[in-house]
A and B are shown apart, each in its own frame.
Chain A
Amino acid sequence: MSTHDVNEWSEGSLQEDLWEGSEGDEWNPLIRRNGNKIQLWPGHRGIQIGHITPMLPAILSLVPHGPSISLVRKVVQFLQTVRYYPMDEPSEPEQGPDANTLIEEQDYQRWLSDRAGTPEQGFSVVMRLWEISKERPDEFDELKQLVGSDGLGIIEEIESIVFSDPPLAGIKFRPSPFPAESGKGSYWFKELSHGTRRILRILVSILYDQSTVILLEQPEDSVHPALLHKLIAVLRSHSDSSQFIVTSHSPMVFDLMSPDEIRLVTMQDGKTQVRSLAEEELVAAESFLRLEGSLSDFLETVQGG
């Protein structure tokens, strides 16, 4: 196991450490960076890189062989599958990567080759769904079950549609409960409600990327409280293979966590501070949850102090 600390940015000097160890054992420093200087262990060889050059990829380039290089490579691979998912949507429905209802083959092929380099296009829910429906039927079925009547109950059916002349494709959704008065059979992604689009965006991201670490902001936005309860449970069901780091301002999301899962983020003296609950706070939280109230009530007191 290794830990990679990115410490302070002090007067333009980036500091990073890479340590190796395991729980309960002693941790040994492998690599230390101070500004543009990197000290490597064992051997204490020093190298220099640019002040803001990413440390680990630079080491792999400059020192491709060495006793710790295989570990560095594993850490880089792990960090490359850490993904932040922007849940924001463009203010105009006609903008953004999901504005088009129909997909041309050439656009799809371009998306396949470009998506790694263009995060905005890469996060297109429609393109990802199209790919899953064609190439990954198990994940497509899983998604349909998760959102269907035996799951979250928001989408009755997801249909992949193909037109031959001209050759176009698309994904249509039948919401649940079905708004019969609309007169429509099904809807394109951009026609769904904001909350439904948000849930689909989250679920498609989880199933498509299968990332090691998933960073999600405010999953509660536009999501009905009864659905939020179930959505958090879905995230939790995938937490054995992916770590979820979720930011939230919602008491309801807090109440679905356990005290040891909480990290409090504050701004002090112009610096962001992150901390877990202290041992005595955890003990107090367990007692409070057992006898008196909710975790959100408890945290309100902890943060207000």
Chain B
Amino acid sequence: MYGIIGEDRSDVDTLKVLIRRLSSDDSVPIKGKGFTGCGEMLKKGARQFRLFQGLGCSRFLVCYDADNEEPFRRHQEVLERIVRPSAIISPLCCIVVPVQAMEAWILADIAAAQRLFSGWKPDPVPNPEGIRKPKQHLEKLSRDARHRPRYIHAIHNPQVARHLDLDKIQQKCPSFQPLADFVRDGVANA
């Protein structure tokens, strides 16, 4: 069973979808906790991992958006503030740092959004990790297209994740690779 934490409830919901798709198994058990921001996640993440372990989780994952910071620094921050203090007894722990935010993965295959919004035909995004604020960019694309309802990340990220071409995300977003390697091959990075 997976125990995953993220800065935001919708990040965790999206990760659950992606993990099940990468596993090709909709029944993979996952416990998740979305915090209200990175500060709360860094403060409470360690105890959340201990709780996950107590509930039987054996694979642990943290998702922490890079948000214009060096991904390596974020990785180290999670190691120092969450993984090590948690003292979980498991070699299977992965730290995922989307560049700049998880919405870049959605922008990598923006055409998948058409499965939810049939009238919306956004242009492909060649370099999604080069977009500084991908969440705002995604929502602006929706507003500019004037389709209704508008794209709302908290609602639509997990929905779109069901239809994303995972190969496209891997090609365009190197930050996705650790997640894919962890789920498919059990490769830990923490």
Residues of A participating in the B interface, judged by any CB pair closer than 8 Å: 138-139, 141-142, 145-146, 150-152, 226, 229-230, 232-234, 236-238, 240, 252, 255-256, 288-297
Q: Which of A145, A294, A297 contacts B149 (CB 8 A)?
A: A145
Q: Which 6 residue pairs of A and B lie closest in terms of their CB atoms, listed nearest first?
A: A233-B154, A255-B36, A142-B148, A237-B150, A294-B36, A294-B40
**Which residues of B (1-27) have their CB < 8 Å from a CB of A?**
9-10
- B184 at interface by CB-CB < 8 Å: no
Interface membership of chain B positions 29-47, coded 1 if the CB is closer than 8 angstroms to chain A and 0 otherwise: 0000001111110110000
Contact between chains at A142 and B154 (CB < 8 Å): no
Q: Which of B37, B148, B154 contacts A294 (CB 8 A)?
A: B37
**Which residues of B (54-102) have their CB < 8 Å from a CB of A?**
none
Nearest B residue to A148, CB-CB: B149
Main secondary structure of the interface of A (DSSP, over half): helix
Residues of B participating in the A interface, judged by any CB pair closer than 8 Å: 9-10, 35-40, 42-43, 116, 139, 143, 148-156, 159
If the complex has contacts A145-B149, A230-B154, A234-B155, are A150 and B116 also in contact, measured as CB distance less than 8 A? yes
Q: Which of B39, B139, B151, B154 contacts A229 (CB 8 A)?
A: B154
Extra pairs beyond A234-B152, A237-B151, A297-B40 (9, CB < 8 Å):
A145-B149, A150-B156, A151-B149, A226-B9, A230-B152, A230-B155, A291-B42, A292-B40, A294-B39
Residues of A within 8 A of B154 (CB): 229-230, 232-233
Residues of A within 8 A of B148 (CB): 138-139, 141-142, 145
8 residue pairs A–B, Cβ–Cβ below 8 Å: A139-B148, A151-B149, A233-B155, A237-B139, A237-B149, A256-B36, A291-B42, A292-B39
Residues of B within 8 A of A234 (CB): 149, 152, 155
Residues of A within 8 A of B10 (CB): 229
If the complex has contacts A226-B9, A240-B143, are A288 and B152 also in contact, measured as CB distance less than 8 A? no
| Cα(A226)–Cα(B9), bound, Å | 8
